[in-house]
Amino acid sequence: MVNPLLLLLLSSTAGLQDPTRPLTAMTATADAPATSQAQQHQQQTPLRLQAIFTGGHRPSAIIDGRRYQTGDAVANYRLVRIRPDHILLEGQGDPLTLTLFPSLSTLSSQ
């Protein structure tokens, strides 16, 4: 016989968010101009630096699960610099710096 408490527990965990993933941005309001779902997802999802490899001949970085090297295109940016703790992306507008542990750099600057 299946324990009813076990069934209740299993059914309630399906809607939980992974606690290690960053929170996503709010969705667009009804007043905002209509855009495709793919465009909204791309605008709302920030790039996430996951790892940096500086050993060897060419350093590389893992961004959103994909490996990139200097000069590669990343979304609407180009990867221009890889350092041991951060990378620099340039594109339209201001350059974008991604750090491995952004919450730690925020705490150290306070």
pLDDT in tens, 3-33: 676 666 665 555 555 566 655 544 444 444 5
Evaluate whether residue 99 is within a structural domain.
Answer: yes
Evaluate whether residue 71 is within a structural domain.
Answer: yes
Evaluate whether residue 12 is within a structural domain.
Answer: no
In this prediction, residue 56 carries a pLDDT of 80
In this prediction, residue 63 carries a pLDDT of 95
Task: List the one residue out of 21, 18, 25 whose CA is nearest residue 42.
Answer: 25
Are 67 and 59 in contact, with CB atoms under 8 Å apart?
Answer: no
Range of the domain at 97: 38-110
In this prediction, residue 8 carries a pLDDT of 60
| Alpha helix positions (H), 13-101 | 37-44
Evaluate whether residue 2 is within a structural domain.
Answer: no
pLDDT tens figures, 28-78: 444 445 444 444 444 445 889 999 999 888 999 999 999 999 999 998 899
* Domain harbouring 98, CATH code: 2.30.30.830
Please indicate whether residue 15 or residue 2 has the higher confidence score (pLDDT): 2
Evaluate whether residue 8 is within a structural domain.
Answer: no
What total of structural domains would you count in the chain? 1
pLDDT interval class at 84 (50, 70, 90): very high
Evaluate whether residue 33 is within a structural domain.
Answer: no
Dihedral sign from CA coordinates of 28, 94, 24, 108 = negative
Evaluate whether residue 16 is within a structural domain.
Answer: no
